[in-house]
Structure 1
Amino acid sequence: MAVFDFVSEYRGLQPTAEREQITARSASFEKAMADANGSIDRVIDLAYFAYRLPIPVESDASQWFGSILRTDDPTFSIDLDIEETARIATLVLRRRLYDNFITTPIIVHSAAFAGKRQTVDKHGLSYASRQTLADLVKRRGSSVTRPQISSGKAGAISELIKKLGDGSGETENVQVFEAILEDYNSQIKQVVTSANKAVETAWTENRRLAEEIDLLWWHLGGHSYLLDRPIAEIPALLRPAVVGMDIGEMISAAPGPHGTYGIIRKALGETADETFKLGDVVKELSRDFSDLISNQVSRYAIAPVHGVFGDVLLGDTPVVGAQFKRRAGLALDTKLTGYELAVQAYHERMLKKLGHV
């Protein structure tokens, strides 16, 4: 398997960079990777930087990433060197996609907002995310092994028993009993560990099958999971968002079941490719749809559909275009197809349910 080459990838984005700069950026890349591997919140922070999204005032993302980038380059400014910040963030996310972290492509897709936002590699991160997500979804459940519980491995206590039998006095009864007890406890721990792994495998597969069955019945029934009403009765402009949120709410683990995107398209029918403005969708919202949103998202720019729906359904003031753009980095008159909106809402809802936004 090929190895991710930071220097090569970085030179592709910054071909005129000097060796000292590459060395500094490589060190920053490794530190950011380590932090991201330890916290999904840092992965989301990196998505903000990669897509140059507005950072919330309460976030410590700039302090965190800025300190990393300044470690080997004291003159670096995260507020001024925006493009360079985006390059390193993009490469960290690309590396995580390369390593098949299952939640990263969902985060990237949500941040890209149906391709309306662009990274420094001209949508390269989004393309890589699409391929990784497709591979992960196809792989899920395709190579299930039969779980087995293995017995514990016995310890070597026969020598102690032999010495005891010789009557040489080198070994006492208590020593043998202690060795047997220790060996017994060790084998019990091995069996429990093996059993837990088998249960985890069976539980994970059962969860996947349950998701697929729920998805199938949802599609056949044509009934909204969140709104408890026929999907056909939902206003046409709102239907894509409801479809995406419904399916996302039924998913309990990333990356979601195979076939989800095909079912989304089938559920929308001919309206899947119709184009409309996000602002027109928002205008269709009323208290009748309050069951779609129970609380506001914590990462507005990553989940802007849920964010603006929350503004309308949870707030008492109308949504102002300038306010939405300030928080999401998008215009309310951004155009999407029905399918694009449904998939965006699906990814956002999955992240929301998993507690990431």
Structure 2
Amino acid sequence: MADEFDFIQSYRDLDAGASREVVEARHKSFRKLSKAIDKMAQIYDLCRLAYQIEPFPARPWFEDAVREFDPHFLAEKDKADAGRIAALLLRERIKSPGSYAPLAILTTSYCGRRHSADGDVLTMQANVAFHNAVRNHRVSSGTKLLAVPKLKAITAEVDAVNNNNPLPGPVVKAAFDAVMVSTETAIKALSDNVKGPVESARSDIVRLAEEVDMLWWCIGDWHELLNKPRTETTSALKMVVSGVELGAMVRQLPGPYGAHGILRRISGAEADGKSSLKAAVKSLSQEDAQKLSKDIPEASRSLFPVHTAIQLIANDGDAWDTEFTKSVPEIATAKMSHFELGIQAFRERALLEYGWTI
């Protein structure tokens, strides 16, 4: 994967003054880190670094790989460089088919309110990759069933049977063994042939089920998780809860093509109304928050602001806002449209339903 990404050119674009020695050291670290990424938690680590989200907790898997080729590097001190390396690792990851990195990146960006260490190139590329993935998710692969494989000819064994009378035991055994091997090979080939089309059909069925569920949900004026009409919630909170509920319906990432359109329709004339997340969830009761809550590890709260707020309300009731501001100080009062609040909640929940491992 690393060989397909021009790290040297990309790194020099970000730090034109870097010496050749530094660029080479970073390139070696990049190759080592790229091969080491096999967990979703590492993607989240890179997101925090790329978007310079404080504080910078210890990440030995990242820092040790850089220090191996540059002993003077310290992530806590060299924050900008750590952010550049992380951003380039994520930009490389975006190019992998089926990667979940674009969704994680966009979720971390908080609909563009946070800025990546590479001048927001990471956010722009993630947007393009995510939109392409969603469009591709909409279209069937059109895989066709292949021809049924033929059984391997066993002419030599059959001739040996015909030419021996009476039949010696070894000749009969060889013929039956050949029949069994030929049959087993054909059955395995048939199984391999239908695996792709069956998986493709299953993917299409899951995608259609997602879209149908979301459409029926949209038709009804009802928050299924709260068990109350959508019209009983304020506009901003309605979009937060709607995003959570739609995200919970996603069975395979990146989710159905029409999810954003449904959120736009639900937001209606108030789509462009502005609110902070803190203000949006202020009217959410502790009881309702407990119905929506997901367990967010403390180290990952800054990546999932919407669900962090919901979790803190569920746990702490009216005393939630102090801890929330502490967890996401740059996000707590940032204004965004009601539609964007719904999009952020949807992205977070889709990732959380998927889990914490690649």
TM-score scaled to structure 1, two decimals?
Answer: 0.90
Task: Indicate the residue corresponding to 2:36 in structure 1.
Answer: 35
Please, which moves more after superposition, 325-334 or 186-195? 325-334
Partners in 2 of 1:157 and 1:27 — Cα distance? 54
TM-aligned CA deviation for residue 352 of structure 1: 0.9
TM-aligned CA deviation for residue 182 of structure 1: 1.7
Instruction: Report runs of 4+ in structure 1 exceeding 6 Å deviation.
Output: none
Contact 1:278 1:333 (8 Å CA) reproduced? yes
Task: Indicate the residue corresponding to 1:70 in structure 2.
Answer: 67
SS of 1:319's equivalent in the other structure is: helix
SS of 2:356's equivalent in the other structure is: coil
Contact 2:286 2:317 (8 Å CA) reproduced? no
Partners in 2 of 1:126 and 1:133 — Cα distance? 10
Partners in 1 of 2:160 and 2:23 — Cα distance? 65
1:128 aligns with 2:95: no
User: Amino acid of the residue matched to residue 328 of structure 2?
Assistant: A
Going from structure 1 to structure 2, the CA distance change for 1:194 and 1:283 (only over 3 Å counts) comes to same
Partners in 1 of 2:331 and 2:257 — Cα distance? 32
Task: Indicate the residue corresponding to 1:151 in structure 2.
Answer: 148
Which runs of structure 2 are paired with 1:293-312 in the superposition (5 Å)? 293-298=292-297, 299-312=300-313
Contact 1:108 1:126 (8 Å CA) reproduced? yes
Partners in 1 of 2:221 and 2:56 — Cα distance? 38
Task: Indicate the residue corresponding to 1:272 in structure 2.
Answer: 271
Partners in 1 of 2:19 and 2:208 — Cα distance? 52
TM-aligned CA deviation for residue 188 of structure 1: 1.7
TM-aligned CA deviation for residue 287 of structure 1: 2.9
TM-aligned CA deviation for residue 3 of structure 1: 4.7
User: Amino acid of the residue matched to residue 18 of structure 1?
Assistant: S
Going from structure 1 to structure 2, the CA distance change for 1:187 and 1:341 (only over 3 Å counts) comes to same
TM-aligned CA deviation for residue 133 of structure 1: 0.8
Partners in 1 of 2:350 and 2:344 — Cα distance? 10
Which runs of structure 2 are paired with 1:221-232 in the superposition (5 Å)? 221-232=220-231
Going from structure 1 to structure 2, the CA distance change for 1:237 and 1:151 (only over 3 Å counts) comes to same
Task: Indicate the residue corresponding to 2:174 in structure 1.
Answer: 175
Going from structure 1 to structure 2, the CA distance change for 1:344 and 1:310 (only over 3 Å counts) comes to same
Going from structure 1 to structure 2, the CA distance change for 1:100 and 1:12 (only over 3 Å counts) comes to farther
Please, which moves more after superposition, 211-220 or 95-104? 95-104
TM-aligned CA deviation for residue 213 of structure 1: 0.9
SS of 1:300's equivalent in the other structure is: helix
SS of 1:336's equivalent in the other structure is: strand
Which runs of structure 2 are paired with 1:207-356 in the superposition (5 Å)? 207-298=206-297, 299-316=300-317, 318-321=319-322, 323-356=323-356
Contact 1:237 1:284 (8 Å CA) reproduced? no
Sequence identity (%): 28
Task: Indicate the residue corresponding to 2:5 in structure 1.
Answer: 4
Partners in 1 of 2:12 and 2:137 — Cα distance? 34
**Which deviations, in whole Å up to 9, do the C-alpha atoms of 1:45-94 show, x marking residues without a partner?**
1111111223586xxx6111011111211221111111111111101111
Please, which moves more after superposition, 183-192 or 113-122? 183-192
Partners in 2 of 1:163 and 1:147 — Cα distance? 40
TM-aligned CA deviation for residue 327 of structure 1: 2.5
Going from structure 1 to structure 2, the CA distance change for 1:164 and 1:224 (only over 3 Å counts) comes to same
Partners in 2 of 1:147 and 1:39 — Cα distance? 33
User: Amino acid of the residue matched to residue 125 of structure 2?
Assistant: A
Partners in 1 of 2:253 and 2:264 — Cα distance? 20
TM-aligned CA deviation for residue 161 of structure 1: 3.4
SS of 1:186's equivalent in the other structure is: helix
SS of 1:276's equivalent in the other structure is: strand
Contact 1:28 1:69 (8 Å CA) reproduced? yes
Contact 2:305 2:331 (8 Å CA) reproduced? no
Count of paired positions = 351
1:184 aligns with 2:183: yes
Partners in 2 of 1:43 and 1:80 — Cα distance? 21
Partners in 1 of 2:139 and 2:276 — Cα distance? 39
TM-score scaled to structure 2, two decimals?
Answer: 0.90
Q: For structure 1, which runs of at least 5 residues remain unmatched after alignment?
A: none
TM-aligned CA deviation for residue 187 of structure 1: 1.7
**Which deviations, in whole Å up to 9, do the C-alpha atoms of 1:241-300 show, x marking residues without a partner?**
011111101111111111211221111012111111222123212134235424321321
